[in-house]
């Protein structure tokens, strides 16, 4: 079994990666200090429920004290309303401080169930069981949250899981768009911290169809390794954890201005990464393999230009609403070279200038 | 100025106690690493607002970036609805990660504003400015929470303030019932941890009218000192922090079954403490100064018997709902001697037996 160790100030835990693990959740939890669990609440969405809940439940020796709560699939479930309902439900079924909450699903479920766990009785144990590639990122590191209209992840906590259980078999039911969304975060990990991994990805990945269990395992170990490294050094985003925001400042703005769901998260981040690379070239007066990256990503079905209909001014205003912004300047994650991220406060003018150029000419043309 | 130092795993901070401090909140925060605050949100209730908000605001050099949110006085404000409204408001006025939330009020405000601060953007700094005696307990130690119907403090976090600012002048507007409510927690601190302090209280306090600023300061330093001691050793209630629950297991049950507000929190805790003392005598086969304690508390206006109309069975069932209960037995905080608490899992039968006796005969009669 492949294992990545995460070690933060508040907790140490493992990410276990292997095909078929959904059948043995109970045993894994039992072996990871949860043998004293008084009850389990599995929070999942309708889609994942229909595909996998039977497999998951079959792995529990007894069905009493195992509860399942199903929410609607999609971002809309990260609401105060659903959060409150889940808390009421937890109380109703009598979860206590020895209970374990299991997040069975993608990033939405991990964020939502994690925030329920972080705050029910001021915190009960929880286990992440990610079912998407994108969630390889969100399920590790302990960021949990819900949304307010117009502000994603605005209310939440830093709360680490006890264990992350990654069954790569569950990824095979993902549509291509979901692969693309998740793979952008894999690429991001290469750009900010691990050039070798980035080069390996560029050499290996020419389509998502080649992602068999063996390959996925290797890729996930590397990608989660970068994440583990960063959050171990900086659990609560006082410093280098901000590197993980590479591509996200513009990415989030595109998602918000376009309306969530038009582009997937990773598709928007891909555009944001290309923007950050071009900005890095300009700020540090260096040359980066941007064109090569664009070509590669487009082979994989990404569209790397700013979507039509968005204005530079609108995007800049949206970037300023990001909760990483304090004071007037926008804190951008740039790279000094591939594999080496750096934080830089950037004024409005160069950002606007680049955004205009990107919208009018695209990123692919000759830049200088 | 009197200062108590609190030092937990997650944060170290001070409790500053002095008459008149409400006029200088800004300066105190400035001197305590909050000189970089981008904005302030003062959360208070209608009652405290009308009495003190002008004094507080006058201490801020500039009024821009200082916001005030007023909620209804009383426990009903610790709801999901009010919590969500405050989060929406924080977003609307543009609080960012460098903002500071100030809880100006009693325990309700501290719990509510603290939970908003703990979760807005996954945590922004907050400052406790308690305005009641009861809040000398709740404002220290980082327990913050809101309620669900039938379950107090069920959703919350452990989140320490940056600073606790205690202006004893603000206590003088309290009605006698509030003094009684808060003083029960002072007495509790004596019983669980500091016999000398308990004896000093018994010798000194014969009415609440004698509580001038000088006396309050001395008492608060001692009482908060016990709390500091306990939470420093055990921030997240894995062990001895549970001692603070002395008198609360039955106290909470009385509050819940009688309907919140019939007895004040401290008045219910006083009954719970007497019960815990009698139970301690029985469990450890010792004799404690129960009768003397009853006489003292009654002089101060407490009623120390279980309120009429409650049944032993009903109270026991309610005690079992407490979130400290795991498995079947009820974990009681008892004392081996005055000033020395100990945890003990107690079965239903002896509890029921004692409750029956207490309801039928009162605590004051000869026990054996």
Of B91, B119, B150, the CB nearest to A156: B119
H or E element, residue B32: none
CB contacts, 8 Å: B97 with chain A: 323-324, 326
Q: Is B323 on the interface with A (CB under 8 A)?
A: yes
What residue numbers bound the domain in which B239 lies? 176-361
**Contact status of B155 with chain A (Cβ, < 8 Å):** yes
B199 and B270 share one domain:
yes
Q: Flag whether B37 is in a domain.
A: yes
Residue A368 lies in a domain: no
Q: CATH code at A247? A: 1.20.1090.10
Burial letters for B163-191: b for 16+ Cβ neighbours within 10 Å, e otherwise? bbbbbbbbbeebeeebbbbbbbbbbbbbb
Is residue A199 located within the same domain as residue A228? yes
Q: Which pLDDT band holds residue A347 (cuts at 50, 70, 90)? A: very high
* CB nearest A156 (choices: B80, B122, B156): B122
Give the one of B87, B98, B323 whose C-beta lies nearest to A96's C-beta. Answer: B323
Q: Does the annotation flag B76 for ligand binding?
A: yes
Yes or no, beta carbons of A87 and B158 under 8 Å apart: no
Among the candidates B173, B201, B218, a domain finishes at B173
User: What is the ipTM for the molecules in this complex?
Assistant: 0.92
**Could you say which DSSP state residue B307 is in?**
P
Q: CA–CA distance from A320 to each of A196, B184, B365 (Å)?
A: 33, 49, 70
Q: Are residues B65 and B82 in the same domain?
A: yes
Is residue A40 one of the residues assigned to a domain? yes
The total of other beta-carbon atoms located within 10 Å of residue A157's CB is: 20
* Distance, CA of B317 to CA of B334 (rounded, Å): 20
- Is the pLDDT at B365 greater than 70, yes or no? no
CA A114 – CA A117 distance, rounded (Å): 5
For the purposes of burial, counting CB atoms within 10 Å of the CB of A75, is it exposed (0-12), middle (13-18) or buried (19 or more)?
middle
pLDDT, tens only, B255-307: 989 987 789 999 999 999 999 999 999 999 999 999 999 999 999 999 999 99
Please indicate, yes or no, whether residues A210 and A133 belong to a single structural domain of this protein: no
pLDDT of residue A326: 60
Q: Are residues B83 and B225 in the same domain?
A: no
- The string of pLDDT tens digits covering residues A224-241 is 999 999 999 888 888 889
Both A162 and A183 in a single domain? no
Interhelix angle A176-193/A213-233, rounded to 10 degrees, is 50
B366 within domain boundaries = no
The answer to the question of residue A251 being in a domain is: yes
Q: Total domain count for chain A?
A: 2
The answer to whether the CB of B264 falls within 8 A of the CB of B251 is no
Q: What is the dihedral of CA B243, A12, A66, B145, to 10 degrees?
A: 40
Domain annotation covers residue B211: yes
Answer whether A157 sits within 8 Å of B122, measured CB to CB. Answer: yes
Instruction: Tell me: do B157 and B214 sit in the same domain.
Output: no
Quick one: A15 and A147 in the same domain? Answer: yes
Q: Please report whether residue A366 resides in a domain.
A: no
Residue B10 has pLDDT above 90, yes or no: no
Residue B166, domain CATH: 3.40.50.1970
- Residues A166 and A194 both lie in one domain: no
Q: B202 and B159 share a domain? A: no
Pull the structure tokens for residue B249: 């297991």
State residue B301's pLDDT score.
96
Hey, of B82, B155, B239, B320, which one would you mutate to test binding to chain A, going by the most A CBs within 10 A of its CB? B155
Q: Is B148 on the interface with A (CB under 8 A)?
A: yes
Residue A368 confidence (pLDDT) above 60: no
Say if residue B327's pLDDT is above 80: no
Which percentage of chain B shows pLDDT scores above 90? 87
Same domain membership, residue A103 and residue A47: yes
Which one of A156, A173, A190 terminates a domain? Answer: A173
Boundary residue ending a domain (A119, A151, A173): A173
pLDDT of B270: 98
Contact B97 A327 (CB under 8 A): no
Are A184 and A131 in a shared domain? no
User: What CA–CA distance (Å, rounded) separates A352 from A315?
Assistant: 9
């Amino acid at each position: 079994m492949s294992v990545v160790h995460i070690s933060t100030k508040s907790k140490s835990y493992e990410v276990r990666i292997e095909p078929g693990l959904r059948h043995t959740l109970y045993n894994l939890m039992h072996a990871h200090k949860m043998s004293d669990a008084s009850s389990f609440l599995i929070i999942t969405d309708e889609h994942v429920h229909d595909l996998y809940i039977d497999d998951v439940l079959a792995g529990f020796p007894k069905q009493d004290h195992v509860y399942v709560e199903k929410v609607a699939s999609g971002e809309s479930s990260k609401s105060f309303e659903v959060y409150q309902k889940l808390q009421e439900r937890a109380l109703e079924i009598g979860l206590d401080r020895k209970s374990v909450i299991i997040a069975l699903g993608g990033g939405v479920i991990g964020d939502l169930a994690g925030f329920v766990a972080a705050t029910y009785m001021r915190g009960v144990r929880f286990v992440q069981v990610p079912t998407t590639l994108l969630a390889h990122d969100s399920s590790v590191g302990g960021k949990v949250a819900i949304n307010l209209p117009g502000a994603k992840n605005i209310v939440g906590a830093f709360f680490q899981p006890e264990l992350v259980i990654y069954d790569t078999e569950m990824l095979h039911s993902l549509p291509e768009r979901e692969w693309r969304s998740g793979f952008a975060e894999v690429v991001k990990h290469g750009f900010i911290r691990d050039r070798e991994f980035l080069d390996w990805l560029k050499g290996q990945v020419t389509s998502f169809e080649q992602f068999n269990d063996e390959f996925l395992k290797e890729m996930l170990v590397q990608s989660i390794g970068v994440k583990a490294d960063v959050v171990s050094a900086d659990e609560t985003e006082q410093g280098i954890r901000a590197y993980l925001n590479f591509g996200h400042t513009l990415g989030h703005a595109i998602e918000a201005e376009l309306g969530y769901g038009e582009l997937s998260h990773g598709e928007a981040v891909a555009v944001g990464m290309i923007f950050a690379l071009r900005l890095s070239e300009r700020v540090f007066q260096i040359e980066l393999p941007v064109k090569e990256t664009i070509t590669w990503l487009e082979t994989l079905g990404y569209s790397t230009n700013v979507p039509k209909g968005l204005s530079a001014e609108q995007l800049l205003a949206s970037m300023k609403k990001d909760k990483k912004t304090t004071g007037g300047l926008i804190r951008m994650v740039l790279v000094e070279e591939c594999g080496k991220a750096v934080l830089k406060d950037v004024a409005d003018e160069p950002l606007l200038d680049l955004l205009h150029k990107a919208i009018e000419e695209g990123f692919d043309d000759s830049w200088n």
